[in-house]
Amino acid sequence: MRTHAAILFMALAAVGCKKSGGGGGGGGGGGGGWLVGRSGLMANIGDDGKLGAGYDLGATENLNAIACRGEGEAWVAGDAGTLLYTSDAGKTWVSQAVPSGANLKTIATQDTGPVFIAGDGAFLMSVDTGAHWSQLGTASFVSVAAAQQGTTVLALDNTGGVWSYADGRLASTTTIAGAHAISVSPDGQTAVIAGNGLQLSTDAGHTWLPIAVDAKLEDVRVDNEANIVAVGAAGAIVNVAWGANATLQHVGTADLHTVHIKSWDDSDAIGYAAGAGGQVLITDDLGATWTQGPNVGRDVFGVDEIGLGHR
């Protein structure tokens, strides 16, 4: 797949990771959520909640994570060292070479800073949009998060180890049992870990305090005011507002692997959650309530949207 990515992704020429615009029906279009997952799944859901045109990538590698930034850039990471990149909102895609054949599990971008990609025995950083990559760590990483407008970069390995990147160095800071996913607010001051419940940091990941919630969680998002949305096993969705207790609901019974809120600045911002079986859930009130969207047919492992609030 990696050597033929530009050809395989020509099917995406009609669709871009754009901040706004229609995306429903059979004609494709930008906007909405971009979802990646099992056996080369890549699907687009428009802001109208409709599924865009399907994309047969001609490959079977799992695509595990997607991260967009700016007006046209996006990276998709997958198994066997798969890394795909677009700089023109999806009109063309190329395969970027990385110094690892590992299963790449997670991506984080900074608006004007590096790109971080991590996975099984690899933690990679690029400061030149993927032309060159530096290997900074060899643990088995499951999640990485970077402040879009700040300098905080945090990661988790598969043992619950918490890592911090600063000044060209990746350092282990603590261990939180059962940790599965990490999120950092745009300004970098607030961070949340999801796993066996939630852990909150208000000092850029230096110290952590538990948030009481009885749920096994797989992904999480947090804003500058410590508003939190997390998803997990058996349709679990957790909301936490600053200074309030966590509320837990279950929407369906399928395990939810990924969540994204388009923009925390808008009270009616669109958000997406998805996971096992390909069922997509949609919210327009920052995760308080959810409705069923389309089913994309395969397990979804990652979702993102270009613009404000991206990963």
| Average pLDDT of span 218-247 | 94
| Range in 43-57, 59-73, 112-126, 143-157 with the lowest mean pLDDT | 43-57
Q: Which residue has the higher pLDDT, 16 or 204?
A: 204
User: Which amino acid, one-letter code, is at 243?
Assistant: G
Query: Is 214 inside a domain boundary?
Result: yes
DSSP string, 176-226: -TT--EEEE-TTSS-EEEEEEEEEEESSTTSS-EEEEEEEEEEEEEE-TT-
Output the domain CATH number for residue 109.
Answer: 2.130.10.10
pLDDT band at 54 (very low <50, low <70, confident <90, very high): low
| pLDDT on residue 8 | 36
DSSP string, 236-263: EEEEE-TTS--EEEE-SSSPEEEEEES-
Query: Is 38 inside a domain boundary?
Result: yes
Residues 10 and 107: their CA atoms lie apart, in Å, by 23
pLDDT band at 34 (very low <50, low <70, confident <90, very high): confident
Tokens of 51: 């599924």
Task: Starting at the earlier edge strand, list the strands of the sheet with 141-146.
Answer: 141-146, 153-157, 161-166, 169-175
| pLDDT on residue 26 | 30
| Average pLDDT of span 253-260 | 97
| pLDDT on residue 16 | 35
| pLDDT on residue 107 | 97
Tell me if 53 sits within 8 A of 26, measured CB to CB: yes
| pLDDT on residue 13 | 30
Query: Is 125 inside a domain boundary?
Result: yes
Phi first, then psi: give them for residue 76, nearest 5 degrees.
Answer: -125, 130
Query: Is 257 inside a domain boundary?
Result: yes
Tell me if 88 sits within 8 A of 133, measured CB to CB: no
Q: Which residues contact 184 (CB under 8 A, 6 or more apart)?
A: 145, 146, 147, 150, 152, 153, 154, 190, 191, 204, 205, 222
pLDDT band at 44 (very low <50, low <70, confident <90, very high): confident
| pLDDT on residue 59 | 67
Q: Please name the helix (run of DSSP H) or strand (run of DSSP E) that holds residue 301, with its range, or none.
A: strand 300-304
Q: Which residue has the higher pLDDT, 92 or 205?
A: 205
| pLDDT on residue 25 | 30
Domain count, the chain: 1
Query: Is 309 inside a domain boundary?
Result: no
| pLDDT on residue 53 | 66
| Average pLDDT of span 166-171 | 94
Q: Which residues contact 183 (CB under 8 A, 6 or more apart)?
A: 145, 191, 192, 194, 220, 221, 222
- Structural domain of 16: 2-304
Query: Is 311 inside a domain boundary?
Result: no
Residues 222 and 176: their CA atoms lie apart, in Å, by 18
| Average pLDDT of span 121-142 | 96
pLDDT reading at 205 higher than 90: yes
Residues 289 and 242: their CA atoms lie apart, in Å, by 18
